[in-house]
């Protein structure tokens, strides 16, 4: 059996879905207050002094702290049904289907958050590793259970959840430097649809390819 690891935002989708979910599921008053509280962090992010993995947990805490699980789950259901289909790449859905038809274990590995990703993954019958929001007494605390699932943390979470020795081949699909450690974990890696690493290619070439082709983040970016 093979393992197929897919990033979500920018890989399966055409754009970031985290920021859109924050805006679509958060009341206006909270958004305004949050923008004021986080304005220094947002400015630092815009000038590249604060990374996306650092700012996402801050935004999630402000947006979701104290929100009921039932309320956010309802927002997530609407989001998955009404918005996500418009940004899903049909070619990547086909690629996922091909892996499943081959009997491969397909896992979405994303820095985006659990409320809507768990619904999307359940509907498409794939497993999920992502940034999980903590729930206490039926309400979100705004904290992440295991940190922002990006960069090296993606690989750590994969190894915590999956016994890689059980798989003959590991495929990985990503679109940014946040995915680089996961791409380097695989035997065969695809970066923005291009094959960049396989058994016969030195890993140095993957690093060079990512460094040369990756674009800088904008807004509250990808996962």
CA separation for the pair 85, 113 (Å, rounded): 17
Domain 3-212 is classified in which CATH homologous superfamily? HAD superfamily/HAD-like (3.40.50.1000)
CA separation for the pair 200, 11 (Å, rounded): 24
Chain segment 15-44, per-residue pLDDT in tens:
999 999 999 999 999 999 999 999 999 999
User: Which residue has 């986080």 as its token pair?
Assistant: 38
Chain segment 43-88, per-residue pLDDT in tens:
999 999 999 999 999 999 999 999 999 999 999 999 999 999 999 9
* pLDDT on residue 196: 86
Annotate the chain with three-state secondary structure. CCEEEECCCCCCECCCCHHHHHHHHCCHHHHHHHHHHHHHHHHHHHCCCCCHHHHHHHHHHHHHCCCEHHHHHHHHHHHHHHCHHHCECHHHHHHHHHHHHCCCEEEEEEEEEHHHHHHHHHHCCCEEEEECEEEECCEEEEEECCCCCCCHHHHHHHHHHCCHHHCCCEEEEECCHHHHHHHHHCCEEEECCEEEECCCCCHHHHHHHHHHHCCCCCCCCCC
pLDDT of 203 above 70: no
Task: Spell out the residues 6+ positions from residue 70 whose beta carbon is closer than 8 angstroms to its own.
Answer: 138
The CA-atom distances, in angstroms, between 78 and each of 93, 193, 201 are: 20, 29, 43
What percentage of the chain carries pLDDT values higher than 90? 87
Cα-Cα-Cα-Cα dihedral sign, residues 188, 3, 151, 45? positive
Instruction: Supply 187's token pair.
Output: 């035997």
Report field, pTM of the whole predicted structure over 0.85: yes
User: Which residue has 């509250």 as its token pair?
Assistant: 220
CA separation for the pair 150, 133 (Å, rounded): 15
Domain ranges of the chain: 3-212
State the pairing for strand pair 3-6/105-113: parallel
Of 26-35, 55-64, 147-156, 195-204, least confident by mean pLDDT is: 195-204
* pLDDT on residue 119: 98
The larger pLDDT score, comparing residue 212 to residue 185, is at 185
């Amino acid at each position: 059996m093979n393992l197929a690891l897919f990033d979500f935002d920018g890989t399966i989708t055409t754009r970031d879905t985290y920021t859109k979910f924050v805006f679509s599921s958060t009341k206006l008053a909270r958004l305004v207050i949050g923008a004021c509280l986080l304005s220094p962090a947002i400015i630092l992010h815009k000038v590249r002094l604060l990374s996306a993995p650092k700012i996402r947990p801050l935004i999630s805490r402000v947006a979701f702290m104290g929100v009921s699980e039932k309320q956010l789950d309802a927002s997530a259901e609407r989001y998955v049904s009404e918005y996500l289909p418009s940004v899903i790449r049909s070619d990547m859905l086909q690629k996922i289907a091909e892996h499943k038809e081959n009997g491969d274990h397909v896992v979405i590995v994303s820095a985006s958050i659990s409320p809507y990703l768990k619904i999307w993954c359940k509907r498409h019958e794939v497993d999920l590793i992502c940034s999980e929001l903590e729930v206490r007494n039926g309400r979100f605390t705004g904290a992440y259970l295991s940190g922002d699932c990006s960069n090296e943390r993606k690989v750590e979470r994969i190894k915590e959840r999956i016994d890689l020795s059980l798989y003959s081949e590991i495929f990985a699909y990503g679109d940014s430097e946040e995915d680089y450690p996961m791409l380097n974990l695989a035997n065969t890696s695809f970066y923005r649809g291009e094959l960049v690493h396989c058994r016969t290619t030195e890993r140095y070439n993957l690093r060079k390819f990512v460094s040369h082709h990756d674009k800088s983040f904008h807004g509250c970016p990808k996962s």
